[in-house]
Amino acid sequence: MIDRNQTCGIGQDSVPYMTCLIHILEGWFGVEQLEDYLNFANYLLWVFTPLILLILPYFTIFLLYLTIIFLHIYKRKNVLKEAYSHNLWDGARKTVATLWDGHAAVWHGYEVHGMEKIPEEGPALIIFYHGAIPIDFYYFMAKIFIHKGRTCRVVADHFVFKIPGFSLLLDVFCALHGPREKCVEILRSGHLLAISPGGVREALISDETYNIIWGNRKGFAQVAIDAKVPIIPMFTQNIREGFRSLGGTRLFRWLYEKFRYPFAPMYGGFPVKLRTYLGEPIPYDPKITAEELAEKVRDRRLRTDGRTGKNTRGAC
């Protein structure tokens, strides 16, 4: 610290300019040891500058992706305008569907093979494999709404309805948690309905081998029989490579079975290629039992290679 009576002039008793400036600032702000604070700030700058320089390029890429998604939405602006003119929620659904469809195209190059198997009108029950995070089903719903103009109802786990802020989203996109009678009613009304028999347990416990975690569940088959509708099996290739779960460990499996809540941590969001395959519809057969139909759907869950048409392990 310099002497208060010392000047900043040129000569034998002069002091460096920066030291003099710090002395003046200390007087202005009424603080002492300002030089120590500045040294600490300089240290932080040296520490965080490399981190900032690493983040900035990715932030630029993020902005580019937002721009691309916006362009996807803008490309359909006339369709969105017409949707809002008819019904507020139809417009909202169309906007959200366009947003998710843009994200699907940009981040995962998402494709649906067999979209023609979804009826233009009339009911059908879609049975899908539940990934750690079923983002493929969100993309699929967006595709159906955009290209078919139809909303696909989905049966969701009870815990989803307890997540704060989710009630409006679930209501607008017609999610339900059952019971079986409600599912039958929806199908008899001519709507599409999707069910994952494995549910949250399959999301947590299944892995990259895509093993089915259905147990003895056959309620979905009884729903199809009671409603007299076809079943369309569905599977998305690479959904387990995109998102992974640690739910297969003994601790997290015990926690889920005990509390019926997915405590297991998940990770991922990797930009892998996602392809959804729709299998051949299984028509309604009044002579088949729920057990036989459930087993038939299980057997149909074979992966279809989009290039050769061959069946391989893992999908519809």
Alpha-carbon distance of 283 to 38, in angstroms, equals 76
Q: What is the pLDDT of residue 226?
A: 97
Strand partners, 244: 267
| Below-50 pLDDT ranges, the chain | 1-7, 10-15, 303-316
Q: Which SS3 state, helix, strand or coil, does residue 267 take? A: strand
pLDDT digits (tens, 9 = 90+) for 28-45: 655 566 566 666 666 666
Active site residue 113: no
pLDDT digits (tens, 9 = 90+) for 249-264: 889 899 988 888 888 8
Q: What is the pLDDT of residue 192?
A: 97
How is residue 282 annotated by DSSP? Answer: B
Interior angle at CA 64, CA 60 and CA 69, nearest 5:
145
Which listed residue (72, 108, 130, 147) is catalytic? 130
pTM: 0.73
Q: What is the pLDDT of residue 58?
A: 62
Q: What is the pLDDT of residue 61?
A: 61
Q: What is the pLDDT of residue 83?
A: 73
How is residue 125 annotated by DSSP? Answer: E
Alpha-carbon distance of 171 to 165, in angstroms, equals 11
User: What's the gap between Cα 77 and its chain centre?
Assistant: 24
Q: What is the pLDDT of residue 10?
A: 46
Q: Which of 77, 78, 136, 147 minimizes the C-alpha distance to 109?
A: 136
Q: What is the pLDDT of residue 316?
A: 40
Q: What is the pLDDT of residue 14?
A: 47
Query: How many other C-beta atoms can be found within 10 angstroms of the C-beta atom of residue 237?
Result: 23
Cβ-based neighbours of 260, under 8 Å, separated by 6 or more: 158, 159
Alpha-carbon distance of 260 to 276, in angstroms, equals 29
Task: Copy the structure tokens of residue 144.
Answer: 């159906």
> Which stretch of DSSP H or E encloses residue 257?
helix 250-259
- What Å distances lie between residue 190 and 141, 178, 195, CA to CA? 17, 17, 16
Strand partners, 133: none
